[in-house]
Structure 1
Amino acid sequence: MFGRAAMRDFDGYTVVVTGASTGLGRAIAVEVARRGAALVVVNYASSAQEAEETARLVEAEGAKAALVQGDVAIDEDCKKIVAAAASTGRIDALFNNAGVTKFAPNHADLDAVNADDFLRLYSVNVVGAFQMVRAARALLEAAPQPGAVVNTASIAGVVGNGSSVPYAASKGAMTTMTLSLARALGPNIRVNAICPGFIDTPWFSKVMDDERTERLRAASKAATPLKVASTAEDVAASAVFFASPASRHVTGETLLIDGGLHLGGASLRLR
Structure 2
Amino acid sequence: MTGRDFDGFTVVVTGASTGLGRAIAVETARRGAGLVVVNFANNAEDAEATARLIEAEGSRAVLVQGDVAQDADCRRIAQAADSTGRIDALFNNAGVTKFAPNHADLDAVDAEDFLRLYSVNVVGAFQMVRAARSLLEAAPQPGAVVNTSSIAGVVGNGSSVPYAASKGAMTTMTLSLARALAPRIRVNAICPGFIDTPWFGKAMDADRVDRLRSGAAAATPLKVASTAEDVAGAAVFLAAPASRHVTGETLLVDAGLHLGGASLSMR
Question: Aligning the two structures, in what range does the TM-score lie when normalised by the shorter sequence?
Answer: over 0.9
Are residue 233 (structure 1) and residue 229 (structure 2) matched?
Answer: yes
Q: Which residue number in structure 1 is paired with residue 142 of structure 2?
A: 146
Per-residue CA shift, 1:125-148, capped at 9, x if unaligned? 000000000000000000000000
Q: CA deviation at 1:207?
A: 1.5
Q: Does 1:126 align with 2:122?
A: yes
Q: Distance between the aligned counterparts of 1:228 and 1:257, measured in 2?
A: 12
**Aligned equivalent of 1:257, options 246, 249, 253:** 253
Contiguous gaps of at least 5 residues in structure 1: none
Matches within 5 A, 1:122-271: 122-271=118-267
Query: In structure 1, how many angstroms separate the alpha carbons of the residues matched to 2:61 and 2:78?
Result: 13
Output the CA distance in 1 between the equivalents of 2:2 and 2:240. Answer: 13
Which of residues 26, 29, 42 in structure 2 aligns to 1:30? 26
Partners of 1:44 and 1:215 lie apart in 2 by 29
- Deviation of residue 205 (structure 1)? 1.3
The amino acid across from 1:234 in the alignment is D
The 4+ residue runs of structure 1 with deviation greater than 2 A are none
**Identity value in percent:** 82
User: 1:81 Cα shift?
Assistant: 0.2
1:6–1:34: 8 Å Cα contact kept in structure 2? no
Report the Cα distance in structure 2 between the residues aligned to 1:206 and 1:136, rounded to whole angstroms.
Answer: 31
Provide the rounded CA distance (Å) in 2 between the counterparts of 1:207 and 1:87. Answer: 39
Amino acid at match of 1:139: L
Preserved contact between residue 160 and residue 169 of structure 1 (Cα < 8 Å): yes
Q: CA deviation at 1:7?
A: 1.1
Kindly tell me: are residues 14 and 92 of structure 1, through their superposed partners in 2, closer, same or farther at Cα, counting changes over 3 Å?
A: same
Q: Which moved further from structure 2: 232-241 or 6-15?
A: 6-15
Q: Deviation digits for residues 228-253 of structure 1, max 9, x if unmatched?
A: 00000000000000000000000000
1:196-219: CA deviations, max 9, x gaps?
000000111122111000000000
Q: Using the alignment, how far apart are the partners of 2:183 and 2:143 within structure 1?
A: 9
- Matched with 2:85 is 89
Q: CA deviation at 1:6?
A: 6.5
Q: For each residue in 1:88-125, what CA deviation from the matched residue of structure 2 results, as whole angstroms up to 9, or x when unmatched?
A: 00000000000000000000000000000000000000
> Pick from 103, 107, 126: which aligns with 1:107?
103
Query: Paired residue for 1:49?
Result: 45
Number of residue pairs matched? 267
Cα shift readout 1:10-61 (whole Å, capped 9, x = no counterpart): 0000000000000000000000000000000000000110000000000000
Whether contact under 8 Å (1:98, 1:124) holds in the other structure is: yes
8 Å contact 1:198–1:258 — kept in the other structure? yes
Q: Note if contact 1:18-1:42 (Cα within 8 Å) is conserved in structure 2.
A: yes
Letter in 2 for 1:231: T
Q: Distance between the aligned counterparts of 2:121 and 2:198, measured in 1?
A: 19
Q: What is the distance in 2 between the residues matched to 1:158 and 1:206?
A: 24
For the aligned residue pairs, the C-alpha RMSD in angstroms reads 0.7
Q: Which residue of 1 aligns with 2:113?
A: 117
TM-score (norm 2): 0.99
Partner of 2:199, secondary structure, is helix
Distance (Å, rounded) in 2 between the aligned partners of 1:27 and 1:143: 23
Output one character per residue of 1:54-77: Cα deviation in whole Å (capped at 9) or x when no partner.
000000000000000000000000
